[in-house]
Amino acid sequence: MEDIGNAVKKILVDKLGIAPTEVTLDANFVKDLGIDSLDYAELVMEFEQAFDIRIPDEDAEQLQTIEQTVEYIRSKT
């Protein structure tokens, strides 16, 4: 899980300019990181590309924290 977690963190830092110190497993995308719906859609596409998976919209809507996202990606790879 650590590799996936590091890759997710790198995407958040590189693509959205979020400070690495803000990217913690329990961080909520909207409440803690201030990500809006457009940024989130871009993130989902980045995750799909980076991990070669498909994240259906109904699944993406359920992913609210970094930890949930890492666990989801782990279950799909």
What are the catalytic residues? 36
Distance CA(39)–CA(12), nearest Å, equals 10
Amino acid sitting at position 68: Q
Residues 71 and 4: their CA atoms lie apart, in Å, by: 9
Q: What residue type is 21 in one-letter code?
A: T
Structural tokens at position 69: 């996202």
